[in-house]
Homo-oligomer: A and B are copies of this chain.
Amino acid sequence: MNRALEWQSDAGRLRLLDQRLLPGRTVWLDCHDAPETAAAIRDMVVRGAPAIGITAAWGAVLSARRHFADGGDWRSRVEADLEHLAAARPTAVNLARALDRMRAALDRADAGPETVEAEAARIEAEDIAANRRIGALGAELLPQRARVLTHCNTGFLATGGHGTAAGILRSAFEAGKLHAVFATETRPWLQGLRLTTWELARDGIPVTVIVDSAAAALMRAGEGDAVVVGADRITTRGDVANKIGTYALALAARAHDIPFIVAAPSTTLDPDLAEGDRIPIEDRDPHEIWRVLGRDQAPEGVETHNPAFDITPAELVTAIVTEAGVSRPGEGV
């Protein structure tokens, strides 16, 4: 099943494919309430900006079901759960925007578990539809026999389905115009090495993995026709928060006159923020870096800096592809 999550209405649970164990093991983890769902987001059972938005929406449904049955002031108890879900990860705006929609559904006079469940289903369906449209629009931007560099995982594991940047790769492959994908391994969490290679190889898409720091040399060697990445938040001026390492790719792409394309559903746009440097950047635990040595933390006398995301300024972005169309922020700023 090409899905990162599955809502099981009758059983009253959200099933998440545990991405921490891929590609070695395929294990589904069940969430029965909002705190379990928030923990799964924080611990990266599920990751990827659109996927965590959808997951949080289903977490809100679990909360509404539980507290509605309790009667009384159920809405305020759901609101507490929504705040808990919103705090699970700070950088991606999709999470906050999905919860805003769930809050609006809850605030309707006739609201009940069915109302909020229908809204979560809409959020998920809209994301899948958006990704298919993004894929079609983005594939048009690529040349024939395109060799595309991508970062992190932006496929079905990171979204409702199909994928954002990986959705463009899928659509380009279906259209017969994708020659090669270079996937960065994406330290520290290795989303590229573990997830993107697994996803693309399943679809028969030719994929070559490289360490993150090899991307610039690959571009210098003339082996990349475009860089295509996802986003966790995009500001009104077109600054892009995305997985740590994205900015270095954008600099290298610019140095080699290679198009730098960002793919994201419009739920990733933050209408309230212009300056990317005001986006909160999540600092994650040092063990994400050190565990490759079998360590939980740095040795004595050594510090660790582990930002999960960075900001690419609009000036370096050739195109932003959403389901609504293609914008070119680099030209306007």
A218 to B245: give the CA distance in the assembly, Å.
11
Residue of chain B at shortest CB distance from A207: B302
Q: Is the C-beta of A133 less than 8 angstroms from some C-beta in chain B?
A: no
Q: B306, A217: Cβ atoms under 8 Å? A: no
Q: B213, A213: Cβ atoms under 8 Å? A: yes
Contacts A214-B310, A220-B311, A311-B220; A209 near B293 (Cβ below 8 A): no
| Copies of this chain | 2
Q: B304, A245: Cβ atoms under 8 Å? A: no
Please list the residues of chain A having a beta carbon within 8 angstroms of any beta carbon in chain B. Answer: 23-24, 182, 184-188, 190, 193-194, 197-198, 201-202, 204, 206-218, 220, 244-245, 247-248, 251-252, 255, 289-290, 292-294, 298-307, 310-311
Q: B204, A301: Cβ atoms under 8 Å? A: yes
B residues near A215, Cβ cutoff 8 Å:
248
B residues near A190, Cβ cutoff 8 Å:
292-293
Q: B293, A217: Cβ atoms under 8 Å? A: no
Known: A24-B294, A208-B304. 12 other contacts (CB 8 A): A23-B293, A23-B299, A194-B293, A197-B298, A202-B301, A206-B303, A207-B303, A211-B244, A212-B245, A213-B248, A214-B244, A214-B307
Residue of chain B at shortest CB distance from A292: B292
Q: B247, A220: Cβ atoms under 8 Å? A: yes
> Which residue from B182, B187, B216 sits with its C-beta under 8 Å from A185?
B187
B residues near A201, Cβ cutoff 8 Å:
299-302
Contacts A190-B293, A193-B293; A212 near B212 (Cβ below 8 A): yes
- A20 to chain B minimum Cβ distance, whole angstroms, is 12
> Which residue from B214, B292, B304, B311 sits with its C-beta under 8 Å from A217?
B311
